[in-house]
Amino acid sequence: MNVELQLDPRRTVPAWLAYGTPVLTVLAALAVGGVALVALNVDPVDAYGVMFVETLTSQFGLTEVLVRAVPLILAGLAVYLPLKAGLFNIGAEGQLLLGALAGTWVAVNVSLPAVALLPLMFLAACVAGAFWAGIPAWLRAKWDVNEIITSLLLTFVAQELQSYLLRGPMQGGTGNFPQSARFSDAATLPPLAGLVPGGESIPLFADVHAGLLVAVAAVVATYVVMTKTRLGFEVTFVGSNDEAARQAGMSRHTVYLFVFLLGGAFAALGGIAEIAGSQGRFRAAFAPGYGFTAIPIALLGRNSAVKVTLAGLFFAVLFVGGSSVEVAFGVPAALVEIIQALVILFLITSEFFKRYRVGIAFDRRGNDAPADATGGDARW
């Protein structure tokens, strides 16, 4: 009996596959992650109960999720925007670090009231993040240099720059720890309770900083730009068919620069929001890979900014719930990283199945010719 694997390009993608991919991807990642838990002698049901149910049903868990979601959503938008134009911004981590460094420099060197200092910090962060993201965008637009490589390499440069500055010119406080001086009250983001009408009556808002409003504003701005403006239409058009966009008179150079500059500014906002809202000072390990986590977030939510927000919240739950599982069951902290890697792996796999129909033909007569439909063809 001969067995033949057949790959047929799909003309259309079934609705269940197009819209169910994010959910199926997450479920598959959690299922395989359960195997790792069993190998560690941990009941997956109990572990996922702690990770999701307890996290989302306690005020402490919800507060931590919203706080963690701020840099994740903003960094996710930094990857999402270039992705809509057919580009991959792998350097959101570096743009986040540059933004945090620039905002921190303003916070510890400029003395102004909070109403002026905070906008200045965020503006400095945006400029630094956009500049760092503009380098790979300009190289790609001008000389077609691969933006994946350049943006990733610039992340390593940003990490070395951070290490130098925090151990040298920007080191503050006591001891030899690689950290800046502590922020003043004027440079610290206030809680939501005093900014949102009726916020004082919501206990959750007492511990969630105003960076959440920045993230929400970025999501709304991205949604409006991408769905209501000509530039957003051009971004999508260039991402769908670069050559057709060029023949239609659209400038891919403008699009490339736009998505990278805006994305870099968003990633930088995530960095300074985390510093000014949660940390109170720049520490070397303040961001546990938020910029890299932004990649699966953008892949999961690449259809819209709203879905990026949902994906960012999901990964925030993974971060917070993963820490709870680590404490409750003594599992390694790498568990969350394993689940993130599985999400990426299954996303890539799902893309293959969205592009191709896979069939297996059985020829029970042992002939070399492939079997027809009546001769035992089977598809899945």
* Range with lowest mean pLDDT among 9-18, 152-161, 172-181, 367-376: 367-376
How far apart CA 255 and CA 234 sit, in angstroms, is 7
Q: What is the DSSP string of 72-123?
A: HHHHHHHHHHHHHTT-----HHHHHHHHHHHHHHHHHH----HHHHHHHHHH
What is the spatial distance between Cα 248 and Cα 89, in angstroms, rounded to a whole number? Answer: 25
What pLDDT was estimated at residue 364? 65
Token digits of residue 298: 């953008």
Average pLDDT along the chain: 87
Neighbours of 87 (CB within 10 A): 26
Q: Furthest-apart CA pair in the chain: how many Å?
A: 85
Reduced to 3 states, what is the DSSP secondary structure of residue 7?
Answer: strand
Dig out the tokens for 145 from the structure: 């240099």
Comparing 206 with 212, the larger pLDDT belongs to 212
- Report the SS3 class of residue 48: helix
In this predicted structure, the answer to whether residue 193 has a pLDDT above a threshold of 80 is yes
Q: What is the pLDDT of residue 28?
A: 87
Nearest to 74 by CA among 147, 129, 117, 136: 129
CA dihedral for 242, 245, 247, 250, sign (positive or negative) = negative
CA distance linking residue 317 with residue 57, whole number of Å: 12
Asked if 242 and 252 touch (Cβ cutoff 8 Å), the reply is yes
Q: Does the pLDDT value for residue 367 go beyond 60?
A: no
pLDDT at 135: 96
Contact between 237 and 250 (Cβ < 8 Å): yes
Predicted local confidence at residue 366, as pLDDT:
55
- C-alpha 75/C-alpha 240 separation (Å) is 23
> What is the predicted pLDDT for the residue at 365?
63
pLDDT in tens, 290-327: 999 899 899 888 779 999 999 999 899 988 988 888 88
Domains (range + CATH), the chain: 1-41+330-365 (no CATH), 68-195+206-329 (1.10.3470)
pLDDT in tens, 58-94: 999 999 999 999 999 999 999 999 999 999 999 999 9
pTM, full prediction: 0.88
The pLDDT-based confidence of 356 (bands split at 50, 70, 90) is confident
Give residue 21's pLDDT: 79
Q: Is 157 exposed, middle or buried (0-12, 13-18, 19+ CB in 10 A)?
A: middle
Please list the residues that pair with 209 across neighbouring strands: 191
